[in-house]
Amino acid sequence: MSIIKLVVSDLHLADGTIILDCFGESQQLAFEGLLYAASLHHGPLSQADSVELIINGDCFDFLVTMPYTGQRIADQSTALQKCEKIIVAHSAFFKALQSFVETPGRSITFISGNHDLELCFAEVRARICSAIVGTRTDPRVQFCLSRVYRPFPDIFIEHGHIHDFWNHATQGIWNEEGQPLMADPQMVPLSIGSWYFQSATNPISIRYPYYDHFDPPLSNTRQIALLCLLDPALLRETAQRSMQMLRSPRLTHIELPVEQYTPEQLFGEAMLDFAAFRDDMWAQKSDWSAAALDESVSVDEMMEFAMVRDALSLPRMEAVAAICTPAVYQMAEDVAQGMHAVLDHDAALRYAIAGHTHIARIDPINQGAQTYLNTASWTSRFALPAPGEVTPALVDWLQSPDWDHVPLRDVTQYVFALITAEEGGSASASLCVWEGGLHGSYRVLA
């Protein structure tokens, strides 16, 4: 029997709010095209006897969907309210899933991520299944309650946020082996990153949505620096909100009216707040056990701080260009390090697949015997502006963005992992990208 597994991640369906909902018309058409290709009787994806769609975390964005409780927890009752909004806003998505599973041999498996940890709630799972097939349970619609999904002995799949300090979340969900602590919890703690978003940085995402869509993403240091130029008042507000999250809340270091600071002075004060926030969050997080945890400021961080601070003394256009220079994205490196370790510790594995970082990645390791794949994201992605692209008009747009007319280069890709196998045989996996929308096709990246 021929078997195909299609792995996607980070679709980020929310409540239809244009700014925070990341699954728009182009994503829907591409998604339908991929599913049609795997269910209609033509093409290589449809010839398999069994096709499983594996959505590896952050399919649903409960984090950005209102209401926010103001507490550092997710509870089942609030999650159901959010779930209903997502279903109403994305009826076409659920219809596409329904059509897919109606084809014999087709099934869906959901894995939770940091934006949809609410899949741990039994009533949420039942409502999603009902939205797809009309019943609370169905063998064609499964939810992986463990942290890791192993569709084949040599394939390891997880969302990846477990390797990221800010989005690491296990308490109340999984034990040390990644198994669920209970089948139907009523509430679970949010990760520090989720708590931080809802308590402090949500206004930034609403006012400057491109912050969440840059490819590669800007580090927190560079985000702070850009706010020093574009919106000092919002930076001060965010710093104060962050200081209220400390075990001993205090005022921000930004004591004077923001107009009395130069950008580099404001940056220095804001970075003192962030350093204090980071240290306090490390102290609060008792379940973080990464072997490489280093609470001191790294050399790379110090070099970035100095470069960005110096850039803020430049003329405005030059400062923006310097801040937007691509740099190593630490979250992606942390997830890669964690997934490499998974492969190193289990020689039987051929592939480890994650999402979370929103950056596609193919890392052969151990002389090519094993490979780490990252399926990136289906959200809209825009390239950081190159120095020659930073114009007065672009800087004006960055300060007052019109999300209906984005001048940044669109680098969105609809990435998925294609796993093929014959029953009883070893699996083979490739990273692919879907192109051409509803009537498109896929291209193998590697």
Which pLDDT value is given to residue 182? 85
Answer yes or no: is 288 within a domain.
yes
Of 270, 299, 323, which residue constitutes the final position of a domain?
Answer: 323
User: CA 285 to CA 170: how far, in whole Å?
Assistant: 11
Token pair in block for residue 178? 């990644």
Token pair in block for residue 221? 């240091």
Token pair in block for residue 17? 């709010």
Answer yes or no: is 204 within a domain.
no
HSE value, Cβ hemisphere, 13 Å, CA-based, for 19: 14
Give bridge partners of residue 19 from the DSSP assignment.
Answer: none
DSSP letter (8 states) at residue 90: T
Which pLDDT value is given to residue 69? 86
User: CA 122 to CA 141: how far, in whole Å?
Assistant: 14
Instruction: Answer for the pair 372, 340: CB distance below 8 angstroms, yes or no.
Output: yes
- pLDDT above 90 covers a percentage of the chain that reads 87
Which pLDDT value is given to residue 21? 96
40: left (phi over 0), alpha (psi -120 to 50) or beta: beta
Instruction: Answer for the pair 201, 213: CB distance below 8 angstroms, yes or no.
Output: no
Q: Which residues form the domain of 293?
A: 218-323
Answer yes or no: is 226 within a domain.
yes
Same domain, 176 and 316: no
Q: What is the largest CA-CA distance in the chain?
A: 71
Answer yes or no: is 405 within a domain.
no
Identity of the highest mean pLDDT range in 45-54, 134-143, 175-184: 134-143
Same domain, 366 and 419: yes
- Span 227-276, pLDDT tens digits: 999 999 999 999 999 999 999 999 999 999 999 999 999 999 999 999 99
Q: Which of 47-56, 163-172, 217-226, 289-298 has the lowest mean pLDDT?
A: 289-298
Same domain, 179 and 255: no
Give bridge partners of residue 444 from the DSSP assignment.
Answer: 432
Which pLDDT value is given to residue 40? 79
Same domain, 267 and 174: no
HSE value, Cβ hemisphere, 13 Å, CA-based, for 168: 20
- Span 133-177, pLDDT tens digits: 999 999 999 999 999 999 999 999 999 999 999 999 877 789 888
Which pLDDT value is given to residue 109? 98
DSSP letter (8 states) at residue 367: T
- pLDDT above 70 covers a percentage of the chain that reads 98
Same domain, 262 and 366: no
Checking if the pLDDT of 444 tops 80, the result is yes
User: CA 87 to CA 92: how far, in whole Å?
Assistant: 9
- What pTM, to 2 d.p., does this model score? 0.96
Answer yes or no: is 279 within a domain.
yes
Which amino acid makes up residue 127?
A: R
In this structure, what CATH number is given to the domain that contains residue 7? 3.60.21.10
Answer yes or no: is 65 within a domain.
yes
Of 323, 340, 370, which residue constitutes the final position of a domain?
Answer: 323
* Pick from 96, 107, 114: nearest CA to 142: 107
* Pick from 389, 431, 381: nearest CA to 209: 381
- CA distance from start to end of the chain: 25
User: CA 289 to CA 29: how far, in whole Å?
Assistant: 41
* Pick from 139, 129, 66, 121: nearest CA to 94: 129
Tell me if the bond preceding 67 is cis, omega within 30° of 0: yes
Checking if the pLDDT of 301 tops 90, the result is no
User: CA 235 to CA 402: how far, in whole Å?
Assistant: 20
Token pair in block for residue 291? 């072997």
Give the mean model confidence (pLDDT) for residues 96-117: 97
* Pick from 149, 156, 151: nearest CA to 347: 156
Residue 358 contacts by C-beta under 8 Å, 6 or more apart in sequence?
A: 10, 215, 217, 376, 377, 379, 381
Which amino acid makes up residue 135?
A: T
* φ/ψ (deg, to 5) at 419: -110, 130
Sign for the pseudo-dihedral over CA of 84, 90, 95, 101: negative
Q: Write down the mean pLDDT value for the chain.
A: 94
Instruction: Answer for the pair 55, 9: CB distance below 8 angstroms, yes or no.
Output: yes
Checking if the pLDDT of 394 tops 70, the result is yes
Same domain, 137 and 21: yes
- Span 323-357, pLDDT tens digits: 999 999 999 999 999 999 999 999 999 999 999 99
Domain count, the chain: 2
Of 308, 323, 338, which residue constitutes the final position of a domain?
Answer: 323
Residue 126 contacts by C-beta under 8 Å, 6 or more apart in sequence?
A: 136, 137
Checking if the pLDDT of 117 tops 80, the result is yes
Same domain, 120 and 228: no
User: CA 429 to CA 5: how far, in whole Å?
Assistant: 9
With vertex at residue 38, the alpha carbon angle to CA 36 and CA 40, rounded to the nearest 5 degrees, is 60
Same domain, 286 and 342: no
Same domain, 153 and 237: no
Same domain, 309 and 420: no
Checking if the pLDDT of 294 tops 80, the result is no
Radius of gyration of the chain (CA): 22
Same domain, 140 and 238: no
Instruction: Answer for the pair 111, 144: CB distance below 8 angstroms, yes or no.
Output: yes
Which pLDDT value is given to residue 293? 46
Answer yes or no: is 201 within a domain.
no
Checking if the pLDDT of 397 tops 70, the result is yes
Which pLDDT value is given to residue 290? 60
C-alpha dihedral (217, 219, 224, 227), degrees to nearest 10? -20
User: CA 248 to CA 284: how far, in whole Å?
Assistant: 12
Same domain, 312 and 338: no
User: CA 205 to CA 200: how far, in whole Å?
Assistant: 10
Strands 370-375 and 351-354, sheet pairing: parallel
Helix, strand and coil percent figures for the chain, each rounded to 5: 40, 20, 40
Give the mean model confidence (pLDDT) for residues 78-95: 98
